[in-house]
Chains A and B, each alone.
Chain A
């Protein structure tokens, strides 16, 4: 479903009358996303960011035919927001909140899977297909259509990578922020087949962090799926302090698990190119995709 999203895909914003909801609904619309409505507990507001406001997701879906929702709910209300979206038949829900409790995330994961829906998040700026659709708040200054698909745990670090690549003429085919939480929706290994199958995508950029096993799991999948497109990886947190979450709840190293060394080694074993600096990954992509660079 992720690869086939387009400027036609009807999208609602849950929590559209809040400060964040209103701002980002307007910014997404300005980018070209087909925002068809929003939901809010406020009964006095009929319209926000230029689209109709509904009381519930079911009302919004019935009236608009939306299949995608961007939930701008606070962390402790994200579980309820996802449940409402699933009950309305939403097929892809993006939750941006930072700080969703882990045990809530387990429930969100189980319930989206049972409903046959996709979940992106939490703790993510969202995703984009540059030139088509933006779900969330990836900065426009970084977005540019092109040949590289980005999967990332970190918002800001991917902004930096995307921005530098865009500066040298390399844009993105797909960009998905899986988020910095340990328990989440779509993971790196789930995205890999999507990126490999996507015809626009010529190379894959993985922006990882210490903690968890997503990078290692993605390496396994890369080996299994046949490594059809080159994979470039940048992983932050070499100097992370053990036993302490480094900003993201998922960026927690304890013992040997989740270390940078483990992730880099596993990715290198399966043929990925692993870099230690922003400059190095930018230069390597610049060389390898020289022929695909475009002027702004």
Chain B
């Protein structure tokens, strides 16, 4: 999961990598939307301001807007800095079982298409990354080469100690007066969070920005809100199948509200998890229907049907039609149970039929 820039910069600052001064410093300033996506500048989420009045106007304009599916609830205001732009990153290399260090003498937003980056694959040790980077920056002027090397080493140590997937500085401003991280793109590993308290604290401190991650950490399963004005709530299991259902529904012109992997195997006879999901779903203002999709390889669907019926009983605010597609172990018995307890529920074993039904509502 990607951190917003302000949190990424807090991690950089903590390991001694220089970042721009804050809003209290003299201008000009940058006002930057704090959403965990790339391309904020092109989406109007990054503005350079010459006066305090401009800062306030930009802040008012950006906060509350939506960028790539994320509602902006905060901006970072900091002193604008200058210098030549470079690109520096260290990341986990999945296929190479190591760390990949990347360097480019041209920083900026076009970096991914510019084709000017140079990379090295290293064993997972900071010393190896530092050695590889020294090679990549050999052409850099003496005036800042040493400081870039120090920043690279600190970045590698940060990645290893905090178990990050990616630590990227783009642009890294370089000049004889010093180097400063203009941006910070940090991707954390939520699977390591139990032993990374400082990352857990950052996530807990922003319940709005990291709503999906906080929900996952608190509840033990995945629920991602896709569109607050979504019309179809999903109670689904399996990450891949849930994504596919969302893709197919969207292709048919429907507006799914959420992604979800409820993990029926972890419910252990309690309807609480289903009640939580239904509670979030019924809070959506544009809700039209709920689709339940469970492919039960191991889970006994008759047990699941009882839990679902109970969860619906205990969610009085649920007033939209529910379509349940249940296939696998004991599907017939599940259908009988639901027909008895909730006769208005539409139950089928066929996903195509369920999708057609729910998108027609």
Residues of A within 8 A of B (CB): 23, 27, 75-76, 99-104, 106-107, 109-110, 113, 125, 137-139, 141-142, 152-160, 163, 180, 182-184, 187, 207, 209-210, 212-213, 217, 234, 236-252, 254-257, 276-279
Nearest-neighbor residue (CB-CB) of A76 within chain B:
B194
Partner of A239, one of B165, B189, B256, B328: B256
Q: Mask for B285-324, Cβ within 8 A of A = 1, else 0?
A: 0000000000111100000000000000000000000000
B-to-A contact residues, CB < 8 Å: 1-2, 35-39, 68-70, 92, 94-95, 97-98, 112-113, 123-124, 160, 163, 165-166, 185, 187, 189-192, 194-195, 212-213, 222, 224, 226, 237-244, 246-248, 250-251, 256, 259, 261, 295-298, 327-329, 351-352
* Contact status B1-A244, CB under 8 Å: yes
A20 to B38, CA, bound (A): 40
Q: What's the dominant secondary structure at chain B's contact region?
A: mixed
In angstroms, Cα B243 to Cα A153, docked, is: 12
The one of B2, B247, B327 that contacts A237, using a Cβ cutoff of 8 Å: B247
Q: With CB as the reference atom, state the residue of chain A lying closest to B222.
A: A247
- Is the Cβ of A102 less than 8 Å from the Cβ of B242? no
A239 B246 Cβ-Cβ under 8 A: yes
**A139 near B298 (CB under 8 angstroms)?**
yes
Contact across chains for B95 and A187 when beta carbons are under 8 A apart: yes
The 4 closest A-B pairs by CB, nearest first: A154-B240, A156-B238, A247-B239, A139-B297
Provide the bound-state CA to CA distance between A104 and B195, in Å.
12
Take A141-B328, A279-B352 as given contacts and tell me if A236 and B240 are in contact as well, using a CB distance cutoff of 8 Å. Answer: yes
CB distance from B99 to the nearest CB of A (A): 8
A182 to B113, CA, bound (A): 23
Q: How far is the CA of A128 from the CA of B239 in the complex (A)?
A: 21
In the complex, which of the residues B36, B94, B195, B241 contacts A183, with contact meaning CB atoms closer than 8 Å? B94
Quick check: B240 and A277 within 8 Å, CB to CB?
A: no
Would you call A255 and B112 a contact (CB within 8 A)?
A: yes
Assess whether A138 is in contact with B297, with CB atoms less than 8 Å apart: yes
Contact in complex: A182, B244 (CB < 8 Å): no
- Given A156-B238, A278-B248, residue A243 in contact with residue B95 (CB < 8 A): no
Assembly CA distance A108 to B208 (angstroms): 35
The answer to whether residues A163 and B327 also contact, given A141-B297, A207-B240 and a CB cut-off of 8 A, is yes
Cα separation A236 to B310 with both chains bound (whole Å): 31
B291 smallest CB distance to A (angstroms): 15
